[in-house]
Structure 1
């Protein structure tokens, strides 16, 4: 891939969208991971460091110290302003008024939505927009919280697979500690993306890309006939990824609107 050209396209996208929407700044959730680091680098290239605000939103029960350290390093290397807003107090507040759930996904999604509220609060304070760091792999697998980390005004990385973002991160000279870190949404302790999804990103991206291609050509339900397109990957894993894509399509569309007939 031509990462120089990709950088130019994304930088111009951010610059043009911010200008068209007459926003003064952007806000980015800085997690200490590769996606938000790459996004922050590109945002500074597009707008300058004074128009980019980083928000570190750790959960003391879950977030490792290394994530905070790496996130701060990104902010300091870029020279952007940043704020640290721990999510524990609002999480505890919600837990006082809500019926508790033993389902860690429900609990984790609550944290993701708390972070979304914090991002939009500071975006409004700074006449800015929220830049989301979701990548193509996560978007099409539905590996994000609806109205949580999936909520954003712009998705500059949304057409790049995870492996492509890692390559772009190397091109941008992101610190090795971030490049080498295992991807995690950090919604609960020891959550690792590749473990949850059942395949390494090197295989996930191949599967998702081929499935989207098959879907486009209307042969999506005949996956068993295309086993040769997934060398070294068992068919059961491919079918599981296919089900994820189908089940989570609703996350990529606006809620259906009930249209009333004229003259009713």
Structure 2
């Protein structure tokens, strides 16, 4: 990958899109992970106003410290960058207290995790509406179009996606070029939605390197029977998630009414 040229291309694309849309800048949710660090850095490089928003909900201290380290570094480098923190823990707990109570289960955990993401999306759009900013998405190609590893109308609810055509490995390459804090570059990827230390790999069952391989194999038309052992296991994981999460990747289905019924 021609890293510097890719960076310039994305930055120009962001700036042109915002200018044509008559918007003032960008708002990015900062998690302490590589994707949000790279996305906010690219937005900052446009010269347009870039608001970095921390939205902790029972967040692990390590995630908070990484996010703050990145924001501090970004503000020193770019005068157009500002930041704010909205602690959503009390909002999350209040919502839990008024919805119907259910017995603990994996499904409840997932529902609450997605709720965290949707509270954050709502918060980002509050600031976007307030300042005429665009909400910049932080999803990469493997997450958005491979395994659908994001929350529908949560972190998937954005105005534009600057890194969604980049594999995770390519995002890391750009992060290194942009001098993203080393603490973020070496941290295990995590969505931070469950209030514990589980990583993305723990949830998915495969690393991003493995998923990138599986995505390439699918694009080449390979089948499960073409593999064995760990490769077969990884390919099965990818195909299963790609299949069940298609509802996130395709347009919302619209019921079309026959002309003779209208």
TM-score norm. by structure 2 comes to 0.90
Superposed displacement of residue 92, structure 1: 1.6
Matches within 5 A, 1:172-191: 172-188=178-194, 189-191=196-198
Q: Is the 8 A contact 1:39 1:133 kept in 2?
A: yes
The equivalent residue for 1:199 is: 206
The equivalent residue for 2:78 is: none
Q: Is the 8 A contact 1:39 1:156 kept in 2?
A: yes
Deviations 1:6-57 (A, max 9, x none): 1011111111111121111110001111110011111111134xx1000000
The equivalent residue for 1:6 is: 6
Q: Is the 8 A contact 2:210 2:234 kept in 1?
A: no
Q: Is the 8 A contact 2:38 2:180 kept in 1?
A: yes
Quick check: 1:141 aligned with 2:147?
yes
Superposed displacement of residue 173, structure 1: 1.1
Aligned counterpart for 1:114 among listed residues 104, 112, 119: 119
Q: Residues of 1 paired with 2:126 and 2:238: CA distance? A: 35
The equivalent residue for 2:110 is: 105
Q: Is the 8 A contact 1:113 1:147 kept in 2?
A: yes
Segments of structure 1 that go 5 or more residues without pairing to the other structure are 215-219
Segments of structure 2 that go 5 or more residues without pairing to the other structure are 76-80
Matches within 5 A, 1:51-90: 51-60=49-58, 63-79=59-75, 80-90=81-91
Q: Residues of 2 paired with 1:240 and 1:176: CA distance? A: 30
RMSD: 1.6
Q: Residues of 1 paired with 2:257 and 2:217: CA distance? A: 39
* Runs of 4+, deviation exceeding 2 Å: 100-103
Q: 1:10 to 1:233 in 2, by over 3 A?
A: farther
Q: Residues of 1 paired with 2:118 and 2:96: CA distance? A: 14
Q: Residues of 2 paired with 1:162 and 1:126: CA distance? A: 31
Q: Is the 8 A contact 1:203 1:233 kept in 2?
A: no
Q: 1:261 to 1:97 in 2, by over 3 A?
A: same
Give the stretch that moved more between structures: 73-82 or 115-124: 73-82
The equivalent residue for 1:234 is: 231
